[in-house]
Amino acid sequence: MWRALPPSSARSLGLGRRAHSVNKLQACIAASSVLAAKSFPAASRPTRRHASSTASSPGTGSQRQRSSVRWSSSSVFGIALAAAVVGWGAASVSIWRDGKGSMLLDSFSQPPRYASMKEMEIAIQEIRDELNGEHEIISTDPEDLHAHGYSEWSTTNPETLPVAVAYPRSTEEVSTIARICHKYRVPIIGYSGGSSLEGNFSAPFGGISVDFAYMDQIIQFNREDMDIVVQPSIGWQDLNEQLALMGSGLFFPVDPGPSAKIGGMIGTNCSGTNAVRYGTMKDWVINLTVVLADGTVIKTRRRPRKSSAGYNLNGLFVGSEGTLGLVTEATLKLAVVPEDLSVAVVTFPTIRDAAAAAAEVMQTGVPVAAMEIMDEVQMRVVNLGGATAPRVWQEMPTLFFKFSGTKASVQENIRTVQGIAKRNAGSNFEFAKDALEQKLLWSARKESLWSMLALRRDGEEVWSTDVAVPFSRLADIIEVSKKEMDDLGLFASILGHIGDGNFHESIIYNPINGEREKVEACVKNMVKRALDMEGTCTGEHSVGWGKKDSLLMEVGPDTLAVMKAIKAALDPYWIM
């Protein structure tokens, strides 16, 4: 089955660099059947609203053709399974020669020893023995392994997959899984919405992906205190729908990818379009229940909005990408739904003018609810996606604004921003005409990555990554980065949460004809530029598998050594 695939197919499956390992792979396949035989019953597998389904949903009318369906053929299952086996059989051997793999782990004179194939089997059986009751807890279904180790919208994917996916129903079950994994040194990777973009839930050493799909409930709603206790797999959109249905007058303002869920949002310390007004994930977490690597369960705090008791463990776990513990409950602050909302767009002759206007809005202190930048290419993607049809937007560098508050404050803020836009050559201040258009326009912005994905031709991929800089450097970095990106001659766009000095490049490329290397160099230059401007290699997507080198460049070896010391204290076998 593996051999039947042409190399190009293997590459487009994210397995290209591993293709030379065919012999090793085939040697592993026989052994894998032991695990594969016990797959999770399809009927009881939780349904997941995957971003991919939306990726192909926008109607196009595009000059570019959508890519053909990628993951449905049965041959993929075999490859996924085989790659999973490589995940545990071969990754631990080869990864140490890989510059990326060694960086976060070089405090070890020897790489950590992970479970052998036999030990892995024993661990999985032990988890089943302890936890299988009315439901099957572990899946080794190849499709499942693939969905939990590979991401079509990630900038990078290691060639390995988890060997099993666990579906716990409670903190106690997560604790049991961790305890057994710790005993056998089986890697554990948390998985919530699967929408992260930098290979954050990759399984470079195989191991068990812990999918919280069945832990998606609101546990306690404290309306008077304006907080809520939730399980990790509730999505931020679902949470807001439920709060609206309850007529609570409250909402959770952190808005990353539409399919993101609270556990992963804590993992990446995400943000979104609302961050300019409401801050990022770390600002909304009151208390966390965390399962540590050895199965110990802790709570970071109690329930008051503020506390100065002891170390700020919330700050430690938020943004740790599941490497220090798995979050099984979170107490979150909620915000009051504003009285009035208005959405407007303004176009500018150049991206520099748009960025300069955005910086002035911030420097003037206008409390905009959101301020987003899109270049002319991204506006074209919105039009091609058709989300706001029949309305068509001008394909020019554009700022999107959300104004919220009382009716009077919204009007006043609009007037101030109109003045700033005019001073920076802005024109065509257009307002969404009603609530539906506001919603459509904003969702077109939120789903812009999926709209880009939908424009790929066969074999093409999208590289979408972010950096952030202090406001005053925004116009500089965006102008230079856009020029370098345009010079690649590829379909590429800039967009971002410009109110936070945070912007993204999205570039469509074809890996087969050497375009990936060009794109990678361009992205690395953008990261270096951001660091030279006292910025960060990632404003919100986090480090993942894709930006480990950038993290070292950003913080330096001494700071990284502190991070490693914390990691070693909480996870001595380095399984998370």
Binding region for ligand FAD (CB under 6 A):
51, 153, 189-197, 200-201, 212, 232, 256-257, 260-261, 263-265, 267-268, 270-272, 321-322, 326-327, 447, 449-450, 540-541
Shortest CB 132 distance to ligand FAD, Å: 22
| Complex with ligand FAD: residue 192 or 331, whichever CB lies closer | 192
At 268, phi and psi to the nearest 5? -95, 0
Say which residues have a Cβ less than 8 Å from residue 468's Cβ, sequence separation at least 6: 500, 501, 502, 503, 530, 535, 536, 538, 539, 540
Say which residues have a Cβ less than 8 Å from residue 483's Cβ, sequence separation at least 6: none
Strands ordered across the beta sheet of 340-347: 427-431, 340-347, 398-405, 370-374, 492-497, 502-509, 461-468
Shortest CB 214 distance to ligand FAD, Å: 12
The CA-CA-CA angle for residues 234, 235, 240, to 5°, reads 100
Shortest CB 326 distance to ligand FAD, Å: 4
Taking the CA of residue 520 as centre, how many other CA atoms within 13 Å lie in the half-sphere pointing to its CB?
A: 12
Asked whether 241 and 270 are in contact (CB, 8 A), the reply is no
CA 558 – CA 263 distance, rounded (Å): 29
Shortest CB 85 distance to ligand FAD, Å: 21
| Complex with ligand FAD: residue 449 or 478, whichever CB lies closer | 449
| Complex with ligand FAD: residue 255 or 376, whichever CB lies closer | 255
Shortest CB 254 distance to ligand FAD, Å: 8
Bridge partners (DSSP) listed for residue 250: 336
For CA atoms 557, 558, 563, 568, give the dihedral sign: positive
**CA dist 156 → 14, 47, 122, 355, 463 (Å):** 9, 25, 31, 29, 8
| Complex with ligand FAD: residue 11 or 148, whichever CB lies closer | 148
Shortest CB 504 distance to ligand FAD, Å: 8
CA 232 – CA 213 distance, rounded (Å): 8
Shortest CB 393 distance to ligand FAD, Å: 19
Shortest CB 70 distance to ligand FAD, Å: 16
Torsion angle of the four alpha carbons 474, 477, 483, 484, in this order, in degrees rounded to the nearest 10: -150
| Complex with ligand FAD: residue 197 or 230, whichever CB lies closer | 197
| Complex with ligand FAD: residue 124 or 288, whichever CB lies closer | 288
Shortest CB 193 distance to ligand FAD, Å: 3
| Complex with ligand FAD: residue 88 or 450, whichever CB lies closer | 450
Say which residues have a Cβ less than 8 Å from residue 81's Cβ, sequence separation at least 6: 29, 32, 36, 142, 145
For CA atoms 103, 104, 108, 110, give the dihedral sign: negative
Shortest CB 119 distance to ligand FAD, Å: 22
Element (H, E) at 219: strand 218-222
| Complex with ligand FAD: residue 352 or 548, whichever CB lies closer | 548
| Complex with ligand FAD: residue 159 or 321, whichever CB lies closer | 321
Shortest CB 75 distance to ligand FAD, Å: 26
Closest C-alpha among 13, 42, 50 to residue 192:
50
Q: What is the DSSP letter of 294?
A: T
**CA dist 574 → 59, 106, 322, 324, 570 (Å):** 45, 12, 12, 9, 9
At 25, list the tokens.
Answer: 């792979």
| Complex with ligand FAD: residue 12 or 195, whichever CB lies closer | 195
Closest C-alpha among 538, 66, 485 to residue 256:
538
**CA dist 83 → 112, 113, 150, 484, 531 (Å):** 21, 20, 10, 36, 36
Bridge partners (DSSP) listed for residue 329: 289
Three-state secondary structure call for residue 234: coil
Neighbour tally for 575: CB within 10 Å: 23
Shortest CB 199 distance to ligand FAD, Å: 9
| Complex with ligand FAD: residue 18 or 541, whichever CB lies closer | 541
Shortest CB 189 distance to ligand FAD, Å: 5
Shortest CB 11 distance to ligand FAD, Å: 22
Which DSSP string corresponds to 147-175? HHH--TTSS---S---SEEE---SHHHHH
| Complex with ligand FAD: residue 200 or 350, whichever CB lies closer | 200
Bridge partners (DSSP) listed for residue 341: 404
| Complex with ligand FAD: residue 180 or 290, whichever CB lies closer | 290
| Complex with ligand FAD: residue 190 or 499, whichever CB lies closer | 190
Shortest CB 180 distance to ligand FAD, Å: 18
Residue of minimal Cβ distance to ligand FAD: 264
| Complex with ligand FAD: residue 120 or 270, whichever CB lies closer | 270
Closest C-alpha among 68, 82, 69, 72 to residue 3:
82
